[in-house]
């Protein structure tokens, strides 16, 4: 009888080898999965959560209105007045109601008026200078050099008068356009100071303003009196020079008739301007005297007009 040992031994060995591989594979899996298993088995209290963004984190914060104060609880009309321009001391309250556009118009109109006056005054003074130079030219005993220099200065002054007259007309036109624009927009000139201040005392600013205006009117009338008187003298001389003689029937025997008519027309206009300036001079002087008397009665210091 043969023994079975040699046959069983190889089969058993193969079984043991398979068991051994299975055990080793199980151990390997255990070792591989053990860290995650331990992490999963950790208590929740010891675990740190990863930060996450929510809709609350990206939503803009709601602006809260500032707390209301006593000043904010003022009346609506008082809040509306806050945006208005407050009048300065001594100025009428009407200034607080003026819009920015009307205020700008007033400023431009005042500047245009001042420019027109300045150019007109410069032209009149230049014309007076020409008359003075002509009188000097007619003085006897002067050298030929002096006469030539004076004649050249008269020519330059005459050109200057023409330029100033043209500029004065343009400035007057600009002023007229500004005034017409203001009328279309319903604008008005700034109110002048009142004779009496808010405290009941005499307003010195009013008297100073009126004194400056009347003084300017007086000086303008005096200058134009001299100007138009010179013109009339000069025109009379030209008319006399160009009139020539007359025959028995009274007809002119010389001179240009058309030129003579123009000279006579210029003399009539100059005479009318002279009469107006004389009346203006009388009125300005009377108004100045009345202003001084009014100021004296109101208790204004006498030295204010010096």
**Predicted confidence band of residue 59 (pLDDT cuts 50, 70, 90):** very low
pLDDT for 173 equals: 97
Q: How far is CA 55 from CA 48, 51, 64, in A?
A: 22, 13, 20
Quote the distance between the C-alpha of residue 157 and its chain's center.
35
Q: How far is CA 270 from CA 105, 135, 204, 274, in A?
A: 35, 20, 39, 6
Residue 175 CA to residue 105 CA, distance in Å, equals 11
Residue 93 CA to residue 21 CA, distance in Å, equals 110
Same domain, residue pair 238 and 160: no
Q: How far is CA 188 from CA 105, 200, 213, in A?
A: 9, 27, 19
Same domain, residue pair 264 and 171: no
**Residue 237 sits in which domain range?**
193-243+255-306
Among 40-49, 187-196, 267-276, top mean pLDDT goes to 267-276
Same domain, residue pair 160 and 239: no
Same domain, residue pair 138 and 238: no
In a domain, 239, yes or no: yes
Task: For residue 121, count other CB atoms closer than 10 A to its CB.
Answer: 17
For 287-292, what is the mean pLDDT? 95
Same domain, residue pair 205 and 292: yes
How many domains are there within the chain? 2
In a domain, 249, yes or no: no
In a domain, 40, yes or no: no
Phi first, then psi, for residue 246 (nearest 5°) are -130, 150
In a domain, 183, yes or no: yes
In a domain, 43, yes or no: no
Same domain, residue pair 183 and 276: no
Same domain, residue pair 118 and 173: yes
pTM, two decimal places: 0.63
In a domain, 129, yes or no: yes
User: With contact defined as beta carbons under 8 Å apart, do 93 and 193 qualify?
Assistant: no
């Amino acid at each position: 009888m043969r023994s079975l040992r040699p046959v069983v031994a190889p089969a058993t060995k193969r079984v043991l080898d398979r068991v051994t591989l299975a055990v080793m594979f199980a151990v390997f899996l255990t070792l591989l999965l053990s860290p995650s298993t331990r992490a999963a088995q950790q208590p929740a209290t010891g675990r740190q959560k990863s930060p996450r963004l929510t809709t609350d984190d990206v939503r803009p914060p709601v602006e809260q209105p500032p707390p209301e104060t006593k000043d904010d609880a003022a009346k609506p009309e008082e809040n509306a007045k806050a945006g208005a321009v407050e009048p300065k001391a001594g100025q009428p309250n009407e200034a607080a109601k003026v819009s920015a556009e009307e205020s700008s118009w007033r400023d431009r109109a005042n500047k245009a008026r001042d420019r027109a006056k300045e150019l007109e005054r410069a032209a009149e003074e230049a014309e007076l200078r020409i008359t003075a130079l002509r009188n000097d030219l007619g003085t006897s005993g002067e050298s030929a050099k002096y006469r030539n220099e004076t004649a050249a200065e008269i020519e330059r002054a005459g050109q200057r008068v023409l330029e100033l007259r043209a500029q004065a007309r343009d400035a007057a036109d600009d002023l007229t356009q500004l005034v017409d624009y203001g009328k279309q927009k319903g604008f008005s000139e700034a109110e002048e100071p009142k004779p009496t201040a808010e405290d009941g005392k005499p307003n010195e600013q009013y008297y100073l303003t009126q004194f400056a205006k009347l003084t300017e009117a007086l000086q303008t009338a005096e200058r134009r009196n001299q100007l138009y008187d010179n013109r009339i003298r000069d025109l009379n001389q030209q008319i006399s020079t160009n009139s020539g003689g007359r025959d028995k029937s009274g007809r002119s025997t010389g001179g240009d008739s058309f030129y003579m008519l123009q000279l006579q027309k210029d003399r009539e206009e100059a005479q009318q301007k002279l009469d107006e300036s004389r009346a203006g001079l009388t009125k300005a002087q009377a108004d100045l005297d009345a202003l001084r008397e009014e100021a004296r009665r109101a208790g204004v210091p006498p030295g204010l007009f010096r």
